[in-house]
Amino acid sequence: MRVVAPHVNGQARVLLIGLGDLGRRLALALAARAAVGELVLAARRADDGASFAELVAACGSALVRSQPLDCLNVDALASLLHREQPDLVVQCAALLSPWAIGTLATPGARVLASVGFAVQLPAQVPAVLALMQAARAAGFRKPIVNCSFPDVTHPILARLGLAPTIGIGNAGMIAAVVRNVLRRAGKPHHRVRVLAHHSHVTAAMTCDPDRIASGPHPRVFVDEAGTAADELVYRGRPLASSRELNALSAAHGTEIILALLPGGGPLATSAPGPNGLPGGWPVRIADGRVELDLPRSLSRDVALRECEAAAMGDGVARIADDGTVYFTDAVQRAVAPLAPELAAPLAPADCLARFALLRHHLMGPP
């Protein structure tokens, strides 16, 4: 017989996995929302999780608990899902922070920082892959929101029938910046739809279109009619490309999470990886479902081609039917003097072995 802990006052229970910088920001935001009655924080370090859970509980109104968890252990994840029966899962765990390379001064770090983010897929895939395998094993069918490179990890997992519901950040961050531009122009209620990719984020945040060397730029459509306004991407005030941008991801993620909870929504937004698609798309969330919300002037096929082309800016040439990632020629040339195997085709099952190699070249010899 299944034993399920009762929910608090009929409010939602959210399971958040991973307590890095973004996970902590999301936890603090969610604990203060009335729709969240209980927040379960799962992380590898039990002492750290328990201490942070007390802080989060004191900052909000939700009941907050911590659970020790090896985020790569499929059986442990399945057991946690079975036991807790959350209304929604937020996946924030990764083997390496996206910002870590910028803090390292090794020769390997300098090389890898100069190529697309896709070379870091070995650090981003394993945790979300394990979670989705656990969800399938546990028969868990509630929404799963993933924060680990959803523009690329989601289409990889979709090839395996394991795509999360949606991601956060990236296209949503760009949409937030555009809305801020419109507010300054006295147009605060303009509808904003964004088609974009993770590879566009730095250019958009710094207001520097030259950071996109080739390929499509973000697409922006405003008002209900979907009037093209791509130029708004670069009309804001430049933001530093730093860990502080997690504040923007957390604000966007909180909106999406609340909309996906029972009784939440509807929400019109833009977000990465909806239902396994590459890149970030305009979406509408209602009744726990995520649907595309493209303007009439943009077909799904054209949008898909643009997102796949933009993925090359992160170093992704293509994703095969089995989820294997093939890197661009530019990435292969860049890493060849360091370790050509870092840009060899990457199958999902090989990510942990590749991560060990990646870590070796990032950290340098002991």
Question: Structural domains in the chain?
Answer: 12-167 (3.40.50.720), 171-312 (3.90.110)
Helices (H), strands (E): how many in the chain?
Answer: 12, 14
Q: The tokens of 79 are what?
A: 């057991």
| 1 pLDDT higher than 50 | no
270-302 tens-digit pLDDT = 999 999 999 999 999 999 999 999 999 999 999
Share of the chain above pLDDT 70, in %: 96
- Give, as one character, the DSSP assignment of residue 215: S
The predicted structure's pLDDT at residue 327: 98
**What is the predicted pLDDT for the residue at 103?**
87
125-159 pLDDT, tens digit each: 999 999 999 999 999 999 999 999 999 999 999 99
At residue 189, the pLDDT reads 81
Give the E-state strand segments of 125-218 in sequence order.
144-146, 166-167, 192-195
| pLDDT at residue number 105 | 85
Nearest-angstrom CA–CA distance, 109 and 97? 13
Q: Read off the pLDDT band of 206 (50, 70, 90).
A: very high
pLDDT per residue over 78-103, tens digit each?
999 999 999 999 999 999 999 988 88
110 φψ region: left (φ > 0), alpha (ψ -120 to 50), beta (else): alpha
User: Mind listing the pLDDT tens digit for each residue in 215-261?
Assistant: 999 999 999 999 999 999 999 999 999 999 999 999 999 999 999 99
Determine the pLDDT at residue 8.
55
pTM of the model: 0.95
Q: In the chain, which ranges are E strands?
A: 12-17, 36-43, 63-68, 88-91, 144-146, 166-167, 192-195, 219-222, 227-228, 267-272, 280-286, 289-292, 316-319, 325-327
Residue 363 pLDDT grade (very low, low, confident, very high; cuts 50, 70, 90): confident
With bands split at pLDDT 50, 70 and 90, how would you rate the model's confidence at 343? very high
CA distance 113 to 361: 12
Mean pLDDT over each residue of the chain, to the nearest integer: 94
Question: Which pLDDT value is given to residue 4?
Answer: 53
Mean pLDDT of 51-57: 95
Q: What is the pLDDT of residue 2?
A: 42
Residues 293, 198 contacting (CB under 8 angstroms): no
Residue 3, SS3 per DSSP: coil
pLDDT interval class at 190 (50, 70, 90): confident
